[in-house]
Amino acid sequence: MAARPPLDPSQPTHWILDWDGTITRRDSLDALVSIAASSKPNSPVLEEWKRVSEAYMSDYIAAMEKLAPGGKLPRTVQDEKKLLQALASVEQASLDRVSESQIFAGLTRKLLDEGAKSLIDSKKVEMRNGFAQFLKLRQSRGHDGLDLLSVNWSRHFISSCLRAAGAPVEKGAINANELGGIERDLVSNGKISPEEDAEMLIISSGDKLEHMARLRKPACESRNSSLDSSRPIVYIGDSWTDIECLLEADLGICIRDEPLGSSQRKLAERLQSLGIHCPHLHDWKKADERQVVWARNFTEIQAWMEAQQARKV
């Protein structure tokens, strides 16, 4: 792979951010399910959620035993992509189970809005340190672009959480799936589908990469992005599902806690197995040609940007 040109963070940049575990401190799917459970107290929502979760794990373990027997995982990026592509069928099967379970049937925008506010107020969904300030500064720069790219099941839920946290993002900049009916302000049928104006679900690493490629297109070709392809992309993510976007971006930033969460550890292990050096963001110039680094939160990312800009003055 040819080395990328140096990234200048003081220049117009297109930021693409994962949601669960990246903007939020923890995965929010359980929180989304809790809204459904609260809205239907006499329905077996939590039992159904446990059933589909256990079925997913069973499928995933079986698939990994078949695709990587003895835990022998890929050592090249090309083989890594093939493995992730093969695992997409596990994600699709799980999505089908969730839709068929009717866990989310009966939800409305109002219920999602109220549920999201309650979750934010109780800190069951919590934004990562520095995100609100990072977002405000990106929006104030004007020439920067920002998109969210998530495998989460409800774009409206993400939007509601951000509003409740005082960090609103234009809904058109949130690229995620949606519960059937919510886009049209109807009672949800419980099925998970693409956004109303999108062509495909976002359920896998490959899906995220394809959507990132679309966001990189010039404004005249891209549905959501306001930036042309000359703007460098910085992608921020935390899990294995983000690895292809992290590797393809002009700069990939892995979010890491101390100690590492399970998803963060999996991503760190895969990068190491692929021979990809991943220094801390402040040592970003020591990264290899893949340009992947790590940071603890958005406070660190903002401090790094300010340091780079100060050096240019």
- Which of 66, 53, 41, 67 is closest to 97 using CA atoms? 53
Half-sphere exposure of 260 toward its Cβ, with a 13 Å CA cutoff? 15
Q: Model-level pTM?
A: 0.93
Phi then psi for 302, rounded to 5 degrees?
-65, -40
Q: What integer pLDDT is reported at residue 225 of this predicted model?
A: 42
Is the separation of the CB atoms in 264 and 239 below 8 Å?
yes
Half-sphere exposure of 35 toward its Cβ, with a 13 Å CA cutoff? 30
Does residue 82 carry a pLDDT above 90?
A: yes
List the 14-17 sheet strands across, edge first.
Answer: 174-175, 145-149, 14-17, 233-237, 251-255, 292-295
Strands 178-179 and 192-193: antiparallel
Query: Range with the lowest mean pLDDT among 40-49, 137-146, 239-248?
Result: 137-146
Q: What integer pLDDT is reported at residue 220 of this predicted model?
A: 39
Is the separation of the CB atoms in 125 and 20 below 8 Å?
no
Query: What is 14-312's CATH topology?
Result: Rossmann fold (3.40.50)
Query: Which of the two residues, 258 and 221, has the higher pLDDT score?
Result: 258
Q: What integer pLDDT is reported at residue 140 of this predicted model?
A: 83
Report pLDDT digits (tens) over 213-257.
Answer: 999 865 434 444 444 456 899 999 999 999 999 999 999 999 999
Which run of H or E residues covers position 17? strand 14-17
Average pLDDT of the chain to the nearest whole number: 91
Can you give the residue ranges of every domain in the chain? 14-312
Question: Cβ–Cβ contacts within 10 Å for residue 186, how many?
Answer: 11
Q: What integer pLDDT is reported at residue 17 of this predicted model?
A: 98
Does residue 6 carry a pLDDT above 70?
A: no
d(CA 234, CA 253): 7
Query: Which of the two residues, 144 and 105, has the higher pLDDT score?
Result: 105
Does residue 273 carry a pLDDT above 70?
A: yes
